[in-house]
Structure 1
Amino acid sequence: MANFPDLSPGTFGQPVSPRKQRRLAKLKACLRFARFAMGDPHFRPYYTAAARKPCLPFNMAFLDAYYAPAIPRIDITGYTGQPGDTLRIFATDNLMVYSVRVWIYDRHGLLLETGEAILPPDRKDWVYTVSAANRCIEETSIKVMAMDLPGNQTYKSVLV
């Protein structure tokens, strides 16, 4: 079992900087998640399947907790403000993106709709189908959140 680093004064009696305290806190959280994931019958199979020698499932869980998902691109070319339009979200993670949520705001910042995107079989991009009409799409804001198994969240917004 790993011992956690001490957050008391640093080397030679120097205080630990706030940046180092945040980094140590993140490492502790990653260790806690990895321990939890290895003992949980729902999480362990994901990390066991993803682990390749010499990486152990515990290490995969730790790395998954350490790195948040990325949203490199949101494709809004199919958005015209009509119900049935689709948005394509490209979200990546070192293991897997667990869910993608979408919010659409009008030009005044009022929420028009929110919902979960789906990942069609054999696709790498998530698809969100619009359900509410938006008569004036100028300055419409689309906000997307991608989440991985440990609960890391990444947000990205685009203006139409």
Structure 2
Amino acid sequence: MAKSTNNVVMKGASGTIGKMLVFRTNAADKTIIARRPKPSSKPLSANQLEVRDRFTEAAQYAKAAISNPLLKEEYQAKAKPGQSAYNIAFADYLKAPQLRKVMVENYNGQIGDLLFFRVIDNFKLQSVYLKIFDNDNNLIEEGPATPVDNGLDWQYTASSVNANVVGTNLEITAKDTPGNVVTFNNIISS
């Protein structure tokens, strides 16, 4: 693959030449010259079909996201040089939130006890919701967690008494901007 920068003749060139070369311009305004891709004659596997569908969905989400001026501005602010708001929105759709840490040191099963969760996303989380189940899987309480000022963690303040903390199941559900919803379970062991 060749790159052309500040070339008056090639600047802004795009398309195919002679069914051999493809010219594209990226977000950094560089012209990329590459061989024309050839379609494969092999049938796609189930995994490949799934990935293709996810990419199609990501492209549709990214187009919709950048058509919203406020969301486009947020994505563009996160973009590095050579990236566009579209690139960031596309990647955001493909990457779901991740639970990194559950901090239960301050939870003794009493009203007002705090639970902390480190849930991260490559762009921005919209919400974190918690359900607390006892060791017989009965719902004790549930509600939204709130972001902590450090920008990494979320906290939940207990509103019900939990007589037996050991064996308690914390079900943490995180939702990001494109609507990826992921649920994590964490059993308190001590």
| Structure 2 length-normalised TM | 0.74
Query: In the alignment, does 2:16 pair up with 1:16?
Result: no
Partner of 1:71: 99
CA distance in 2, matches of 1:42, 1:129: 32
What one-letter code is carried by the residue in structure 1 that aligns with 2:122?
A: N
Q: 1:155: how far off?
A: 2.2
The aligned residue for residue 152 of structure 1 is 180
Match of 2:54 in 1: 26
1:137 maps to: 165
Cα–Cα, structure 1 residues 18 and 123, in superposed 2: closer, same or farther, change >3 Å? Answer: closer
Higher Rg of the two aligned structures: 2
- Give the drift of 1:119: 0.7
Off by >6 Å, runs of 4+ in structure 1? none
Identity %: 28
SS at match of 2:53: helix
More helix by percentage: 1
Secondary structure, counterpart of 2:58 in structure 1: helix
- Residues 42-79 of structure 1, C-alpha deviation per residue, up to 9 Å, x if partnerless? 42221021112111011000011111111111111111
For 2:173 and 2:101, locate their aligned partners in 1 and report how far apart those are by CA, in whole Å.
12
Give the match for residue 81 of structure 1.
Answer: 109
Equivalent in the alignment of 1:119: 147
Greater strand percent: which structure?
A: 2
RMSD between superposed Cα atoms in Å: 1.5
